[in-house]
Amino acid sequence: MADALSHDDRQAIGHLWLRQTLGLRVPRPYVESYVVSGARRTEVYGTRTVEYYGRSYLNDPSDLRAHLRFALRHEPADLRILVAAFKVLGPDPIRLWVQDEPTGSFSRRAWFLYETFTGERLDLDDVRGGPYVDALDPNRHIVAARRNSPRHRVVDNLLGGRDFCPTVRRTQRLEELRGAHVDAEARRLLDRYDPATLARAISYLYTKETRSSFAIEGETPTPGKAGRFVAALRSADRFDPQRKAAILALQNQIVDPRYAADDYRDFQNFVGSTTAGFREEVHFICPRPEDVGSLMRGWSTSIDRLIDDLDPVVAAAVIAFAFVFIHPFEDGNGRIHRFLMHHVLARTGFSPSGVIFPVSAAIARDQRSYDEVLESFSTPLLKHIDWQWNGDQTIAVGNDTADLYRYFDATLFAEYLHDRVIDTVHKDLRDELQFVSIFDAAIDAIDAIVDMPDRRASLFVKLCMQNGGRLANRKRDEFGELTDAEITAMEDAVRIIIQREANEQADMLPGLFETPSFNAM
C-alpha cells in the first residue's frame, strides 16, 4: 500500500479525514478515500481499498459537514470512527446540520447514528414526514431487517445497538463465498448414505471437532473432558447464549475445575507468549474488566437480530469472533468461541439436524490463516491502548477502550469462516463419509474371499485404504497366514470399492471430488 499512499497532491476525505483531523484513537478504515488531481479510480491492496476522487467531490477541505456527508454517501460506515468523532464533536454540529437540512437524508442519518451511539437526545423535533432512509447503505453492508425509527425517518438496519454493533462490508469475496451454498452441497452428499453409515461417520465428526478445537489451544483433552465437549456440541442447537448462566455452565463444563468461573472476569486479561530470555510478549489486550459486563449484554442482545436477519455463516462469524475478542473468562474462551459457530449453524439449520461440520479441523489444517485473521483485529488495537506492566506480570490499561471492541468491522471474519466451512464440507465431511462407506463395503468384500476375524479384517482394510488400495510391501508380512493370491484378490476388491465411491461422488458433484486418500484417517 506504500506506493498508493505516496501521492503528494492528495487530500484525505470522509472517514480518514475525520480520524486524522480530530485525532481519533481508532484504527484506520478499511476503505480510505482521497481527493486528487486526476481521474476517479480504485486501488486494492490486500484487505484494504484506496479510493481516489476528483477535486469536485470536495469544495472546502476544512468543512466538517462535507466530510460527514461524503462518508455517509460514498463510503461503507466505519462506526469506530463515526462514534469517536461524535464524542469529540459533541451535539452542536449534528443539531445545526439537521436544523439547516431537516429533511436531508444524510443529516437525518447522522442524527440517528449520533443519538443511537451516544445515548444523548438532541434538542430537535421529530421529523414530520417524508421517505425513510437506511442507516447503513445495503449496497455496501450486510444489514439487518428493517426496523423503523419514526423520530428520524430512518430505517434502523444496524447489526446491534449502542453496547455492541459490528459492521460487515459487502465485499466481492464475501458475496462469492455466500453464493457457494455449501450447505446444499452437504445435503446432497448426506443423501447418498444409509442411516447406519451416516450415524457412524457423524459420531466421528463430533470427536474430530472436539480434538481439533482443543488442539488449536495446544491441549489434548482427557477422555472425560472430550466427552463433555462432544455432549455440548450434540446439543448446540438448544444452547441459549443469551442466558449468562448457560455461558457460565458451558465454561465450567470444558475447563479444568480449578479454572471454572462463577462470573465474568473482574481482572485485566491479555494474550501473550514468552520469548527468549523469559520476556512476555503481548499479542492481544482484552477489554477492561469494567467494560466486560456491558459488552456481553450488548453481544447477547444482538444475537437474535444477527441470527434472524443474516446469512447463517456471517451471523456465526460475528457472534463467535466477538465473544473471543471480549474474552470474558480466564480460560475456555477459544473453545466457546468455536462452539458458538456450531450453535449458530445448528440453530439456523445451516448444518443439517444432528450433523456437525468440523470447522475446527479446517482451522487446524491452516492455523496460520486463523492466527492472521485474529491478528487483523488485535494488532491495530495495540497502537491505541495505553497499557503498562505491573510488578506481578499483569498489565494495567489506562484509557477508555470499550468502543474498540463494540464497533469493529467483522468483514474479514465473515469471509474467513465462510472459507473454512466450505473447506470442512469439501474435505472432512466428504472424507469421513467416504471412509465409513468404503470401509464397510470392503469388509464385506474381503470376507467373501477369506473369512477373517473382525480385528484382522479391519486392519487389512485400513492398511489398504491408507495406501491407495494395496498393502505396502513392508506390511504384507503381517498377514503371513494369507496366500499371495488371496492378498491380491482382497486388494483388488478394496481398490474397486474405492474407485466406485470416487466415481459416484464425482457424478453427484462434478469437478469437486477426487479419488479419496485416507492416510490421515
Residues with catalytic function: 327
Q: Is 338 annotated as a binding residue?
A: yes
- The residue assigned the cell 464425482 is 506
Q: DSSP letters along 90-135, please?
A: -SHHHHHHHHHSTT-HHHHHHHHHHHHHH----S-PPP-SS--EES
Three-state DSSP at 244 gives: helix
Q: Is 333 annotated as a binding residue?
A: yes
Q: Is 331 annotated as a binding residue?
A: yes
Name the burial class of residue 148, with classes exposed (0-12), middle (13-18) and buried (19+) by CB atoms within 10 angstroms of its CB.
exposed
Q: DSSP letters along 419-439, please?
A: HHHHHHIIIIIHHHHHHHHHH
CB count within 10 Å of CB 253 equals: 16
CA-nearest of 411, 314, 316, 417 to 30 is 411
Residue 349 backbone dihedrals phi, psi, to 5 degrees: 80, 10
For residue 90, give the C-alpha cell.
Answer: 459533541
Q: Is 337 annotated as a binding residue?
A: yes
Q: At what angle do helices 430-447 and 195-216 cross, to 10 degrees?
A: 130
Q: Is 90 annotated as a binding residue?
A: no
**For residue 234, what are the CA distances in angstroms to 229, 239, 341?**
9, 10, 13
Q: Is 334 annotated as a binding residue?
A: yes
CA-nearest of 437, 454, 457 to 498 is 437
Specify the pairing of strand 48-53 against strand 31-35. parallel
Instruction: Mark the binding-site residues for ATP, compressed into ranges.
Output: 331-338
Annotated binding site: 331-338
